[in-house]
Amino acid sequence: MSARDAGLLDVAALSASKAADLIGKSRQAVSRGLHLEEDYFNLGDVQRLHSAVVAKRPELKERIADYIRENYKALEKYVGGTPVDIDLQTAIATASSAWLFTADYMNLSVREPHLHQAIVDIIKNRNIEFTAFVNGEVDKERFRRAAAENAPTPKKNDRIFVYDKCNFINAMPTMLLFNPRTPTAFMMGVNDWYKMNQIEIRRILDGLYDELQNTHANKPTAVA
């Protein structure tokens, strides 16, 4: 095991098997990787471990942040991020399901790459079942390409609902909704994601399920 990997597990108070669960990799793969002399955990792994550990054990927040700043310079900005950055990454690291609503996925993916990165992180997370509600076939294909590029082995339960010129989707803000039954949600703002409060979430969710059932959508398409 590399010194950097060993130090990360130590400051995060994690066993190799628990780290594997948190980053969505098999315990066997992580065990084999950690037996190598070079670093096994990539930057995405480190980011997910940080988010999950901070969410579950906030008393370790400063200790793991200091270690990451010292040993993973590329993540300095992340661990010193705004509360919204940290909340969003924590949601991505710990959620079991996520929904994306967007009437203009093309614009999001092409013109807002820094905001689109959150969607890429969800695609890469093997523990999240991801459902995208998009408007039209063009956006569907662009989303599928993003999934193929970022998760060469797509998750079987990921799916896309396509709405054709749907007023309901057009009226929705671009929004990420995590764990819909106990929701945390983020709405795309100007140059950043904005964390919605529970009143805002409930206002949007009230009637959402009826609207989804009553509004025509193509049969959901598997991402794989």
Indicate if 114 and 213 belong to the same structural domain: yes
CATH assignment of the domain containing 126: 3.30.870
- Average pLDDT value for the chain: 80
Cα 79-85-200 angle, rounded to 5 deg: 155
pLDDT band at 37 (very low <50, low <70, confident <90, very high): confident
Model confidence at 44, pLDDT cuts 50, 70, 90, reads: confident
Distance CA 78, CA 209 (A): 35
Residues 125-149: tens digit of each pLDDT: 888 888 888 888 888 888 888 888 8
pLDDT tier for residue 168 given thresholds of 50, 70 and 90: low
What does the pLDDT read at residue 222? 58
Burial 25-40, CB ≥16 within 10 A → b, else e? beeeebeebbeeeebb
Q: Which of 52, 80, 108 is the last residue of a domain?
A: 80
**Which of 32, 54, 80 is the last residue before a domain boundary?**
80
Shared domain for 55 and 73, answered yes or no, is yes
pLDDT of residue 10 exceeding 90: yes
**Which helix (H) or strand (E) covers residue 124, if one does?**
helix 113-124
Mean pLDDT within 31-54: 84
Q: Which residues pair with 161 in a beta bridge?
A: 133
The DSSP secondary-structure symbol of 186 reads: E
- Give the residue numbers spanning the domain of 67: 3-80
* Confidence bin at 220 (pLDDT 50/70/90): low
Do 42 and 67 belong together in one domain? yes
User: How far apart (Å, rounded) are the C-alpha atoms in residues 187 and 196?
Assistant: 7
**Those residues with Cβ within 8 angstroms of residue 222's Cβ, 6 or more apart along the chain or in another chain:** 154, 156, 158, 159, 160
Look at residues 54, 80, 106 and tell me which one is the last residue of a structural domain.
80
pTM: 0.60
Q: Identify the pLDDT of residue 176.
A: 92
**CATH code for position 73:** 1.10.260
If asked whether residues 206 and 145 sit together in one domain, one would say yes
Count of domains observed in the chain: 2
